[in-house]
A and B are shown apart, each in its own frame.
Chain A
Amino acid sequence: MTELLLTLTATGVVLALTSGLLGVFVVWQKQAYFGATLAHTALLGVALGLLLQLDWQWMVILVALATGWGVHWLLGHTRLAADTLLGILAHTTLAVALVLLSHAPVTFSLDSFLFGDILAVTRADLWTALGLLALTGLFVARNWRALLNLTLNEELAFAEGVPTRRVRLMLILLLALVIALSIKLVGVLLITSLLILPPAAARHFSRTPEQMLAGSMAIATASVVGGLALSWQLDWPAGPAIVVTATGFFLLALPFRR
């Protein structure tokens, strides 16, 4: 039991650090709805994985990547605003997923995908999450200035020599990966909050982008640890407990407005 608890907590902390790292860009670039759309499409990945009897986590990643590319393509080929397109994609994929899941060959609980199922976390998940954290950390460290310039103004960044397409694509890829791996922890419906609540809370006591990044990672970690503790002590469902804890930090940070 203790080993399971350790694996669980460690995986949670590693995913918290990763989403804390990526979350600041989601907030700065006003991409919260994009993150939510990727999370919704994850359920289509789950459905395809179950139907085709493939590993659903990889299907989730594939579908999320296709969505990221699809949004980009649709933006260039329709007259619709980004939030309209994201809304269409999010709910279409969700609906298709639910239709497909009604024909899934195996019985499973939809709740566990929507709200998380931490008891399903395995040792392999811990290693994958660690790999993703290393990849994300390396990417952000090496491209920090490029990422900030991209966030400030994409055309200015490009004119000054930043490989904006490559950096943006990598950011979408990492977002897709962290969403796919966080499903067991908080579930499809709550993932976006793990991406945006910690940086939003950190904003209130940060004067530089670096402080906000560090604050975001710290608050995300505290939210996961605190949420798991609450879940353990009070028998709350783990995913919602994590999000409630993160919201608590956000409210606590409100008076420190800088």
Chain B
Amino acid sequence: MLRHVSFKLHKGEILTLIGPNGAGKSTLLKLALGLLRPTGGTLWRKPDMVIGYMPQKLEVDASLPMTARRFIELGLRPDLPPDPFWLDQTGVSQWLDRPLQGLSGGQLQRTLLCRALLRQPDLLVLDEPLQGVDVQGQAFLYRLLAEARERIGCAILMVSHDLHLVMAQTDQVLCLNGHVCCSGTPESVQAHPAYRELFGLDEDTFAIYRHHHDPTRCDHDGGHHD
């Protein structure tokens, strides 16, 4: 499903994966999390790495009585009380004692992010953090990620569908379509012909998701820009 993929992610760096549906973004994320093993090639992860993971969705059965506070504490070491800084920054302190099942989608997303941040991770992995988030929410998330990088010094790996807002906070963009179409800084990727072809940018302004790019016919093999 995924081949010819190679990248390095260091502490304090933000890497964003973009690409059409079925491009292998989620697969790459699962490889990074250790949920999948690569069938070929090598994957090196820092030993004993602490991971903070924000999944796309959290579906908790109504039969499980659990507040947001308890949910967050379950992700932390039992002897560490949650740092109030992140509770306030994410807004979670407003609904700490409400049951998880009573939270809105946005509140649940922030609760997931808060748990991931409070773990003081070496690597923060976010799966489509912008899904269903309004413009203000997106700006808010980017400020939060910048703050996380500064305070925790973690590396951040995220998947995004969003093309323009991604570019604001990212050091490295990996444009995937079964392989690395192109990679580099946001500016260089935006200018790369493979990226423009993949998202149909030069043909007409609205055709952002035209999946006419066939990986088997693709002759640009991970063109890299710095």
- Chain A positions near chain B (C-beta within 8 angstroms): 27-30, 145, 148-149, 151-153, 155-156, 158-161, 199-200, 203, 206-209, 211-212, 258
Check A206/B55 contact, CB under 8 A, given A152-B71, A158-B33, A160-B119. no
- Neighbouring B residues of A207 by C-beta, 8 Å: 65
Check A155/B55 contact, CB under 8 A, given A145-B74, A149-B74, A160-B119. yes
- Chain B positions near chain A (C-beta within 8 angstroms): 30, 33-35, 51, 53, 55, 58-61, 63-66, 70-71, 74-75, 78, 119, 125
Q: Are A212 and B75 in contact (CB under 8 A)?
A: no
Q: What number of residue pairs across chains A and B have CB atoms under 8 A from each other?
A: 61
The chain B residue with its CB closest to the CB of A144 is: B74
Q: Are B75 and A160 in contact (CB under 8 A)?
A: yes
**Most chain A beta-carbon neighbours within 10 Å: one of B65, B66, B78, B119:** B65
Check A28/B61 contact, CB under 8 A, given A152-B71, A152-B74. yes
Q: Are B78 and A145 in contact (CB under 8 A)?
A: yes
- Neighbouring A residues of B61 by C-beta, 8 Å: 27-30
Measured in the bound complex, the distance between the Cα atoms of B119 and A199 in whole Å is 31
- Neighbouring A residues of B30 by C-beta, 8 Å: 155
Q: Are B65 and A153 in contact (CB under 8 A)?
A: no
Apart from the given pairs A28-B63, A152-B71, 16 other A-B contacts in the complex at a CB distance below 8 Å: A28-B64, A29-B61, A145-B78, A152-B64, A152-B74, A155-B30, A155-B53, A158-B35, A159-B33, A160-B75, A160-B119, A207-B65, A209-B64, A209-B66, A209-B70, A211-B65
Q: Are B55 and A27 in contact (CB under 8 A)?
A: no
Measured in the bound complex, the distance between the Cα atoms of B69 and A210 in whole Å is 15
Q: Are A212 and B65 in contact (CB under 8 A)?
A: yes
A15 CB to nearest B CB, Å: 22
Contact of A148 among B59, B74, B119 (CB under 8 A): B74
Measured in the bound complex, the distance between the Cα atoms of B125 and A29 in whole Å is 25
- Neighbouring A residues of B71 by C-beta, 8 Å: 152
The chain B residue with its CB closest to the CB of A29 is: B61
Contact of B63 among A155, A158, A161, A200 (CB under 8 A): A200
Contact of B70 among A159, A200, A208 (CB under 8 A): A208
**Most chain A beta-carbon neighbours within 10 Å: one of B34, B53, B60:** B53
Q: List 8 A-B residue pairs with CB atoms under 8 Å apart, sorted by A's residue number.
A: A149-B74, A155-B33, A156-B53, A156-B55, A156-B58, A159-B53, A160-B75, A200-B63
Measured in the bound complex, the distance between the Cα atoms of B125 and A152 in whole Å is 18
The chain B residue with its CB closest to the CB of A25 is: B64
The chain A residue with its CB closest to the CB of B62 is: A203
A91 CB to nearest B CB, Å: 26
A44 CB to nearest B CB, Å: 30
B103 CB to nearest A CB, Å: 13
Q: Are A160 and B65 in contact (CB under 8 A)?
A: no
Measured in the bound complex, the distance between the Cα atoms of B77 and A161 in whole Å is 12
Q: Are A153 and B33 in contact (CB under 8 A)?
A: no
